[in-house]
Amino acid sequence: MIKRTVAGLLMAVLSSLITLPIGLSAEEDGPPYKFTPTAETRYYKVTSLNDSGRGTLRECAQAAGSRVCLFEVGGTIKLNSDIAIKSHSVLIAGQTSPYPGITITRAGISVRARNVEIEHLSIRPGDSSVGSNPSERNAMSIGAESSSGVYSVSLKNLSLTWAVDENFSTWYPATSNVWLRNSIVAEALNDSIHPKGPHSSGILNGFGTACITYEGNLIAFNFDRNPYVEPAGSAKFLNNVVYGWGDHGPWNIGNLTNNFDVTSPSIAAFIGNVWIPASYSFATDGSIYAFSIAPASKVYVRDNYGPGRPNDSYPETDIASLADPSALTTVCPFSSGCLASYPASNVEFYVLKNSGSRPKQRSSIDARIVNDVKNRGGSIKDCLKGCANSTGDIPSTGKTRRALTVPTNPSGDSDGDGISNFDEWLNIYTAEVEYL
C-alpha cells in the first residue's frame, strides 16, 4: 500500500486521471470472477509448510501462467514476507487441505494480478518480530502500481484476522471488480507494533478503487474502518454483519469521509447490512458517516439496521449521517442492480453460520470470534499474548497430510453437464468445509 504521507500529495492529481482497465465506469460492476481451467493449466501440490522453496504455497502463487494451488498438507505457514501474486490466472483452493486447513502468519497475501480466485485460507499476520513490515502488515491487500490494473479478483471464505495495518485493503486507482464474500474480517490489532501507534483497521476500500463488493462477511472487533470507502471509487456492501467497533466517533463505523479534499465522487450502495455496537462502541450517530463528501457522490441505502436506524420503524436514510444529505439517492447507482440475498432481519444468522475459512470445521479462533458476536461479548485486541487484551496464540496443530489425485482431463466435461471435471472434483472438498 502507498504510504499515507505520499498518498496525500498524489491524490489531487490522480483524481482527474482515474481510468479503469477494462472499460468499466465506477458504476459498471460485474459478477465475481470464476477461475476456469484450460488445457494449459498447471496443478501444483503444496506439500511443505515452509516459507519458500519446492512444494510451498509461495512456489505456486508466485509462478507464471494459469495454475491451481492444491494442498496435500495442513498446518501453519510462517512467512518472512508477503506472498505477492504478480502473474495472472490462479486459483488457490484451501478447501483441499486436510483438517485443520491452512493458516498463514507473520505476513499476508498481496494480489497484484488479474483473474485471481482464493478460497478457504486463514491469514493471521500477528505481531511477531519476524515477518512483513509492521507499517504494511496486512492480511490481504489488492492492487499494484500498474497501468494494466488489477481486476477480476474473487476472495471467498477467508479468515482475515490480527493484521497490524489493515485486515483487508484495496489500493491504486486501476484496481476494480474485486469481491470479498463469506469471510471473517476481525480483531485487527490495536495497540500493537504499528509505527503510528494504535491502528486497528478492518477494511480500507482505497482511493479510486472501483466496483469492490463485500458480501456476507463478519466484520468484528476492528476499532476503525468498518468499512472506510475512500473517495473517487465505488463499493457495494451487501448482507454484512459489523460488530464491536471503537469508541472515538462515527468514523469508526462505516466511513465515506473525503479526507483528500478531491472532487471525484464516491459511489456506494449499502443493502441488508447490520451494525451491532458492543458495550464500548460509539453508537450515537448513523452507521454510515461522512464529515465531508465529494460533489456528485451517490450513496444508496436500503434495509440496513444499526446506529441511526435500529429497526424498520425508522426511515431508510436514518442509517446515514452525511455532511451533504443530497448524496443519498433512491436510485441504484450500479448497472448490475442493488440486490442482497437476505433481508437484514435474517442476515446475522446467515453470516454467523457461513463465514470464515472452514465454517463446518471452524478453528477455535474463529469459533471464539463468532461466539463473542453471538453473545454480545468480546473486545478489541492489542496482541497475541503478553498483554491484557490478547487474542491467544495460534494453536499448535502440527502437520497433517492427505494425498490428492487430480482428475484426468481436468478442463474437460466428461458427463456433459456444463461443469468441468476439475470443478466437480473440487466441489467434493468444498462440501467438507462449508454449508453452502
- Which CA distances in Å does 42 have to 152, 153, 407? 20, 19, 13
pLDDT digits (tens, 9 = 90+) for 243-254: 999 999 999 999
For the segment 28-64, what is each residue's pLDDT rounded down to a tens digit? 678 999 999 999 999 999 999 999 999 999 999 999 9
Strands (E), 99-209: 102-105, 109-111, 116-124, 140-142, 150-161, 166-170, 175-181, 184-186, 201-205
Identify the residue whose cell numbers are 488445457: 39
Model pLDDT, residue 226: 97
Q: Does the pLDDT value for residue 6 go beyond 50?
A: no
Summarised one tens digit per residue, pLDDT across range 203-220 is 999 999 999 999 999 999
* pLDDT tens digits, 258-296: 998 999 999 999 999 999 999 999 999 999 999 999 999
**Other Cβ atoms within 10 Å of 289 Cβ, number:** 24
Q: Which single residue is written with the C-alpha cell 454484512? A: 240
**pLDDT band, residue 1 (cuts 50/70/90):** very low
pLDDT(173) > 70: yes
Note whether 283 and 244 are within 8 A (CB). no
Bridging pattern class, strands 288-290 and 328-329: unpaired
Residue 7 has pLDDT above 70, yes or no: no
Hey, what domains does the chain have and what are their CATH numbers?
Answer: 4-433 (2.160.20.10)
User: What pLDDT score does 18 carry?
Assistant: 44
Stated pTM of the model: 0.95
